[in-house]
Structure 1
C-alpha cells in the first residue's frame, strides 16, 4: 500500500506539474566583486534541482560588446569554451555542462554584441516600421524574447523541454554595461509573473584578518543598489572565507529585506564538489519548491545527492599524489586552462590520486631563456623533470612554441607519459620530423610561412581572413583506422568517436606516409580520412596527442578517456587497466597499488561509472 501510495503521489505531482507547465526562471546576480563564484553557485542550483527530477537549462549573460568569446585573449577572459554546435562561449558554460551533464547551445550565451546585432539587423530590414530604435523598449524586449526562446531548447538526450531556466548575469550590479540587462529583467519579472521568477544575489562578505569579524556593509550596499534598479532579491548567497554565524545572517536580513532563512552562506570549501551539498543542507530545495511552485516530492529520498557526497568525500580522502606538468603559453592565469585542469582532476579522482598540477611557461624551457635568465630556465626544467607526466595543451601564435617542442622531445626520449591537445599534437609532429626524420627547420606555416618542411598547414576554408567564428569548431566525428591503438581501447574499442574541435591548422597530409613509416602513427582521422585527429607513438608507454579537445566532454563522474589514460600511465597503472578491459577492481590489487579506499569500478568509455553500492552514474 505504501509503495502504491508513493507512485500515485509521484504520478499526481507529475500531472500537476504538466498541467501548470510554465517555465520557471532563476536569475543569479553578483555584487561587490566579480569572480565571486556565481558560475559554480548557479551550477549547484541546477545540480540540486536535477537531482529532484526537474529538467533544467542555463543561460550565461556577458555584458561585453563582443559577439562571442572566440577572439578573446586567454589573459583577458580565461579559456574559450566550445560547445557541440561550435559556439565559442564563456567558461562558465563549461561549469554548467560539467555539473549538470547537459549539452548547451551557442544561444545559451548572450552578449551585448549579439543583442545589438539582432536589433540592428531588424532595423535594417524595416521590422520596426520607422520607429526610433532605443534601449527601452527595443533592446530590453530583445533580451526578454531571447531568454524565453532559448529557455525552451532541450539540452538533454531525451529532448524534453526544460522546466527551470537558470540565468547568470555576468559582472557586478552597478556596471554600466549590465544596465540594459538589469532593466530587462526588472520588466521580465512582471512579464512571467512572480511565482515563475526568482532573483538570487551572490555577494562577498569579507572577513578581515585583523579583526576576524564578518563585514556586511558591502552586501548591504550591493543589495540596496540592486533594489534601486527594480530587482529585489528573494535569496542572498553570502560568499566568505570562513562560515558566518546566525547573528551575521540576521543582520543581513534586517538591512536587506529578506528573511534570515533566505540568507545562506557558502564559505571556501576543499573542493567545488562540496558546494551543491553545502547549499542543499541549507534548505534550498524547500525554498525553490515553495517559491516557484515546483511540486517536488517531499521528503526527499534517503540517498538524495549521494553521488555528489561520495565524490566530495572521495576527493577529500585521497592520500597518494600524481604530479603533472602543464607546459603552456598562458600560465599566468590558471582560468586559461580551466577545462584541462578539470579534466585532469576528474581522471585523477577516478584513479584514486590527488592531482598536483604545476604550470610551466613554455618559453622558459627555451635556450633563449637560458642565456637571459638561467635561474628561470633551470627551475622550469627541474619542475618538468620532477613530474610524473606532461601535458601540452592548445594555443595560438609563435611565443613558446620551441619550448613546447623541447617538452615533447624530452617526453619522447625519457619515456615520460605525454598528452598533447590541439597545438600539442602539432608540436609533437614537428618535433618528430625534426629529430627523427632529420627535416631541419620543419615547422608550422603559422610560425614560419617560408619553412622548407610545412609539416603543419592551415585549412583554407577555416582561414578566410576574419578571426571570429571561422575555425574548425564544434563536435565532429573521428574514425579509428587502426586496431592497435591505446586510445581505441580507452574509448571502449569503438570504431568512431565524437569530440569537440577548435583549430585552424592541421598536420599536412602530404607527409603522413613518411612520418608513419618512422613510427609515429595517426590512428584516428576525420570522417573523410584526410585530417589527422589522433597521434600515438610506437614503443612508448603513453605518447598520445589529439587534434580535438577531449577536455570539453569530461565530467566529474565520467572522465575523458585520453585524460584517464594519461593519469593512469603517469602512476604506472595503465597496462593493468587495459589488461582488465579498461576496468579497475581495487580488491584485485595489492593494498599498496589500490586506487582508493572505496571499492569502485571505472569504465573509461565514459558511458558510466559503477560504484560499490551499485549506483550507476550515467
Structure 2
C-alpha cells in the first residue's frame, strides 16, 4: 500500500461513550484481515502526560514499555491489537504546545508571530504522520492504517485546535486515505420509551460545521435502535443508513469486533479506504474473536476476587487489574466476580468512625476466594492493606500483592514475624532510621512527573527451586515486566525475611532490587514490585494473575504438576475435526452474536479487555 490510511474517531453528546473500545475494534477487525495497524490517542488536556493525575481524575495511569505514563485507552489498544505502543502514541495539548514553544525559543519560526493556525495545527499533523510511520515493534513493518481517537466530545473548547488540524489533514492526505467515524449516544428516556436522535443530530451538525463530515456513525445505546431511528439519523446527518451502526450494550466488549464485522465493517473500510482486501465466503479471519466470545459465554463456574485498594470509588482506577483478572478467569474457565474493598475501611480506627463500613469490608474480605492488593501512593489506606495481607497470610487465602501491595506485605511480615514493631516504609514515616521499605534516591526528585522507575525492566529468578511463580512464567531465567515505583524493599532485611519463610525469588539483574516474593507453606502468597497487569492479554493472561485464579479454585497444584497445562476437561483453545465443522460453528456463532441483545453494559470496568 503506497499511502498511509487514517481513521479518525470522534465522540458526541457525552464523554465515556466508548470511543476507546470502538477505536480498538476498528483496529482488531483490520488486523484480523492482515492489515498492519497502529493507534494514537489524543487527550486535549494541557498536562504533558497522565503521570501526575489522581486516579479519581482520569482513571488509572497506564504504563508503556518505554516508560510512558499515558491514558488508559492505550491499554485497550494494546490488549485488542496485541501490539506495543510508545509514549508518542499519546498526544496531549501540553506536548504539542511545549514542542511549539521550544521551537519558537530556538528561532525555528524566523521571527514570525506564533499562532494556533498554522503553527499548532501543523505541529499536530506532523506528529500524527511521524508516529503513524513508526514500524510496529512486533513485526518491524510500517503500519498501513493509523486509528486516531480524539478524546472528549466535539465542541469542547480544549479540542478545537485538533479538530481544525484534522480538517486540514483530510486534504493533506486526500479523501481516499482519510475516514471519520463519529460515536454518539442515542438515549432512550424511560418517560417516552423511544430513542431520541436530536443529541446525535446536534453533535454531527457541529462536527460538519467545523469541517469534518462523518463517514460512519456509531450509535451507542442501552438497547438496539430500530431501522426507523437509523433512517431518521441518516436523513438529518447526511450519512447512508448502512453506514449507521447500532451497538447496544453487549454482555462483553469481546463481542464488539464480531458484532461490528457482522454489519460489514471490513468490507466498508476496504471500499472506502481502498485497502485492496479480498474476502472469502466465511468469517474465518475473525475466528480468534469468535472463539474468545464463545469461551466467555461458556464459563463453567465463578471465582470471587477482592481488590483491596485506595481508589475504589472509581473502578477505572484499577482497569488493567480487573482486565488481567478476567483474562486469567477466561483461561482457567471461571467467571470472575470482583469485589472492591476500600483499604481504609479495614483499619481498626474505622471501627469507631464507621462500624458499618468496617464490618461490611471485613465481611466481603472473608467471603472472597482470593485477594489482590494493588499499587498506590501516599499514606492513606496503607494500614488497611497491611492487615489484609496479614489476614491472607494467616488464613491461607490466595494473595497477590502488586507494587504498594508487595511492599505492604513485606511490612506486615516484618512486624508480625520478625517482631520489628515499628516496621514501615519511608514513604509513610520518613523519620525511620531503618525502614523496611526505602526510597530510591536516583528516582526521588523535587519533580513528580516522569521521575519514577518506569517502563519495561528485566527481573531474574534468583531462586527457581519449588517456586510456583517461576513455573507459571515457564521456568524462565529472566522475565520482562513494566514498573512504576520510587520505593523498594530494603535489602538489609533480606536474610531475616528469607530465614522466616518469605523467599525473594526474583530480583533486578544487578541484584540490588527485590522484585518477587513467595511465602513458604502457603497455597499462593505472591508479591511483585512490578505491574504484571499491563502486559496481560485476552488470549495470553499474566502468569501471576493466572496463578491466583487457579489457587483460588484449588487447581494450581494440578496445573503446575502437568507442566502448566489445563486438563482436557477444562477450557482451552477449541479445535475442529474438519473445515466444514469450523465454518458451521463460526456461522452459528456470528448469527448468535448479532442477535444478542442484552441490558448489561459493554463498557463497564468488569468487561473491557
TM-score normalised by the chain length of structure 1:
0.92
Query: Which whole-Å CA distance do the structure 2 matches of 1:297 and 1:585 have between them?
Result: 39
Structure 1 residue 483: Cα displacement:
1.7
**Partner residue in 1 for 2:75:** 94
> Which of these residues, 368, 382, 386, is aligned with residue 405 of structure 1?
386
Counterpart position of 2:36: 55
Question: Which SS does the other structure have where 2:436 is aligned?
Answer: strand
Deviation, 1:301, is 4.5
Q: What is the deviation of 1:46? A: 0.3
How far off is 1:416 after superposition?
A: 0.3
**How far has the Cα of 1:441 moved from its partner?**
1.0
Deviation for aligned residue 1:452: 4.5
Structure 1 residues 451-460 or 65-74, which shifts more? 451-460
**Is residue 135 of structure 2 the alignment partner of residue 141 of structure 1?**
no
What is the CA–CA distance in structure 2 between the aligned matches of 1:87 and 1:467, rounded to whole Å?
14
Q: Given the alignment, which residue of 542, 555, 575 partners 1:612?
A: 575
Partner of 2:350: 369
Say if 1:389 and 1:566, in contact at 8 Å, map to a contact too: yes
**Paired residue secondary structure (1:535):** strand
Aligned: 1:107 with 2:70: no
Quote the residue 1:527 is aligned against.
509
Equivalent position SS for 1:545:
strand
State the 1:612 CA deviation: 3.1
Mapped pair 1:443 → 2:406: no
Task: Please say if residues 441 and 453 of structure 1, whose CA atoms lie closer than 8 Å, have aligned partners that are also in contact.
Answer: no
Q: Return the alpha-carbon distance in structure 2 between the equivalents of residues 59 and 163 of structure 1.
A: 14
Residue by residue over 1:242-292, the C-alpha shift from the partner in whole angstroms, topping out at 9 and shown as x without a partner, is 011111111100000011100001110001101111110111111100110
Structure 1 distance, partners of 2:104, 2:576, is 59
1:462 and 1:212 map into 2 onto residues whose CA distance is 56
Aligned to 1:260: 241
Deviations 1:587-613 (A, max 9, x none): 3xxxxxxx34xxx2xxxxxxxxx5434
Alignment partner of 1:172 out of 148, 153, 172: 153
- Structure 2 Cα separation of the partners of residues 356 and 301 of structure 1: 35
Q: Which has the higher contact order (CA 8 A, sep 6+)?
A: 2
Give 2:473's aligned residue.
491
The residue correspondences of 1:384-423 to structure 2 (distance < 5 A) are 384-423=365-404
Q: Which runs of no fewer than 5 residues in structure 2 stay unpaired? A: 580-609
Cα deviation digits, residues 531-569 of structure 1 (max 9, x gap): 001011111110001000000000000000000000000
Contact 1:519-1:538 at 8 Å conserved across structures: yes
CA contact (8 A) 2:183 2:217 kept: yes
Verify the 8 A CA contact 2:291 2:574 in the aligned structure 1. no
Matched with 2:178 is 197
Indicate which of 544, 565, 568 corresponds to 1:562. 544
Is the CA contact (8 Å cut-off) linking 2:350 and 2:357 kept in structure 1?
yes
| 1:276 maps to which of 243, 254, 257 | 257
Q: 1:313 deviation in Å? A: 1.9
> 2:18 aligns to what?
37
**Separation in 1 of the partners of 2:320 and 2:282?**
32
Q: Who is 2:112 aligned against?
A: 131
Q: Which moved more, 1:383-392 or 1:291-300?
A: 291-300
Conserved 8 A contact 1:439-1:453: no
CA distance in 1, matches of 2:125, 2:464: 52
* Distance in 2 separating the partners of 1:63 and 1:372: 41
Please give the secondary structure, in 1, of the residue aligned with 2:512: coil
Q: Measure, in 1, the Cα distance between the counterparts of 2:240 and 2:184.
A: 16
Rounded Cα–Cα distance in structure 2 between residues aligned with 1:296 and 1:302: 14
| Paired residues for 1:186-225 under 5 Å | 186-225=167-206
Q: CA deviation at 1:306?
A: 1.4
Secondary structure at the residue paired with 1:444? Answer: coil
What is the aligned partner in structure 1 of residue 486 from structure 2? 504
RMSD of aligned Cα (Å): 1.1
Match of 1:542 among 512, 516, 524: 524
Could you tell me how far 1:148 is from its partner in structure 2? 0.1
Match of 2:595 in 1: none
- 1:155 aligns to 2:136 (yes or no): yes
Contact 1:289–1:295 (Cα < 8 Å) also in 2: yes
Q: Shift of the alpha carbon at 1:26? A: 0.2
CA distance in 1, matches of 2:213, 2:362: 54
> How is 1:319-468 mapped onto 2 (pairs within 5 angstroms)?
319-468=300-449
> Within 2, Cα distance between the matches of 1:435 and 1:451?
18
Contact persistence 2:56–2:317 (CA under 8 A):
yes
Q: Per the alignment, in what secondary structure is the counterpart of residue 434 of structure 1?
A: helix
Deviation of 1:156 (Å): 3.5
Contact 2:516 2:526 in 1 (8 A): yes
CA contact (8 A) 1:346 1:559 kept: yes
Q: Is the 8 A contact 1:473 1:503 kept in 2?
A: yes
Q: 1:480 is matched with which residue?
A: 461
Residues 282-335 of structure 1, C-alpha deviation per residue, up to 9 Å, x if partnerless? Answer: 111111001100001123644231121121122122231100000000000000
Q: Within the alignment, does 1:242 sit opposite 2:223 as a pair?
A: yes
Is 1:581 aligned to 2:563, yes or no? yes
1:572 counterpart = 2:535? no
Structure 1 residue ranges without an equivalent (≥5): 1-16, 588-594, 601-609
- Separation in 2, partners of 1:508, 1:548: 16
Return the alpha-carbon distance in structure 1 between the equivalents of residues 72 and 407 of structure 2. 24
- Mapped partners of 2:63, 2:199: distance in 1: 35
Q: Give the conservation status (yes or no) of the 8 Å contact 1:442–1:452.
A: no
Q: Residue in 1 aligned with 2:604?
A: none
> TM-score, normalization: structure 2?
0.94
